[in-house]
Amino acid sequence: MTADLFETVPDVRPSREAMADGAVLLRGFVKPFESDLIAALREIVAQAPFRRMFTPGGHQMSVAMTNCGSAGWVTDRSGYRYDGIDPNSGQPWPTMPTVFCQLAVQAAIAGGFDGFAPDACLINRYEPGARMSLHQDKDEQDFAAPIASVSLGLPAIFLFGGPKRADKPRRYRLEHGDVVVWGGPSRLFFHGVAPLADGEHALLGHQRINLTFRKAR
Ligand code: MD6
Ligand code: FE
């Protein structure tokens, strides 16, 4: 029997996988946006370079961050907050590119959330070994809006827990092009990212980039 009997055309449809009530994993959702998205990302990073911020407790994060949009998430010795100004430049964060906004809004719709209007996009860069400990996203003013999270570059193990820190997280492998949207009953669930394994991604090299879109204000 010859191998080509089993060949199929690649399945380019994004898939939809429920993670919890209000949380959905859209594998491959980025594909139609990919090249414009990465070009826009490079421009943002040229204006507002990645930097490793400090937690209020004085620890430097292993993940490097920047932002675009009218509100940027920052952390320093005084706490976590959203700020319209990049503290490194004293200038407003780069404007949210149209392609970023379109991707986030369309993913939110696919996840069951109409009318998402993100004003903040936190951009996380993981190099091998970087991780994010379990946390809740609760610095936003209105928890009615969902969060859309876009994974690019190297794959990561995403830890998705529950409403209590002690809830045992489930592990999801997030790959380049995957989007997670969550809100509603799971909006405040604990989550994190396991230490990034090394590897090389064809477009982004030895790193994972995560974009999280929020309505902060
Ligand atoms: C990350 N993501 O995937 C970290 N937060 O690198 C988050 O912390 C996150 O993916 C809120 C909602 C979705 C997320
Ligand atoms: Fe988060």
For the record, the structure tokens of 5 come out as 């009997």
The whole-angstrom separation of Cα 211 and Cα 136 is: 16
Over pLDDT 90: what percentage of the chain? 93
Q: How confident is the model at residue 178 (pLDDT cuts 50, 70, 90)?
A: very high
Residue 6 CA to ligand 1 centre (angstroms): 37
Tell me, in angstroms, the distance from the centre of ligand 1 to residue 50's CA. Answer: 17
Q: Which atom of ligand 1 is nearest to the CA of 210?
A: 6
pTM greater than the 0.75 cutoff? yes
Q: What is the pLDDT of residue 13?
A: 59
> What is the distance between the alpha carbons of residues 16 and 19, in angstroms, rounded to a whole number?
10
- pLDDT class for 59, splitting at 50, 70, 90? very high
**Average pLDDT, rounded, for the chain:** 95
Residues contacting 42, CB < 8 A, separation 6+: none
Look at residues 100, 126, 116, 107 and name the one whose alpha carbon lies nearest to residue 192.
Answer: 126
Q: Give CA–CA dist 45/54, Å, rounded.
A: 19
What is the DSSP track for 23-81? EEEEETTTGGGHHHHHHHHHHHHHHS--B--B-TTSPBPSSEEEEEES-EEEEETTEEE
pLDDT tier at 9 (50, 70, 90 boundaries)?
low
- What is the pLDDT at residue 89? 98
- Closest by CA to 118, choosing from 110, 107, 132, is 107
CA–centroid distance for 38 within its chain: 14
Query: Residue 41: what pLDDT?
Result: 98
The amino acid at residue 188 is: L
The closest residue, in CA terms, to atom 14 on ligand 1 is 149
The per-residue pLDDT for 8 is 64
User: Which pLDDT score is estimated for 10?
Assistant: 62
Nearest ligand 1 atom to the CA of 191 is 8
Name every protein residue with a CB atom under 6 angstroms from any ligand 1 atom: 124, 132, 137, 147, 149, 158, 180, 191, 193, 210, 212
Instruction: State how beta strands 79-83 and 132-135 pair.
Output: unpaired
User: What was the pLDDT predicted at 33?
Assistant: 98
Output 29 or 8, whichever has higher pLDDT: 29
Taking CA 208 as the corner, what is the angle to CA 44 and CA 172, rounded to the nearest 5 degrees?
Answer: 130
Per the model's pLDDT, the better-predicted residue between 9 and 157 turns out to be: 157
Confirm or reject CATH 2.60.120.590 for domain 4-214, answering yes or no: yes
* pLDDT greater than 60 at residue 5: no
Query: For residue 7, what pLDDT band results from cuts at 50, 70 and 90?
Result: low
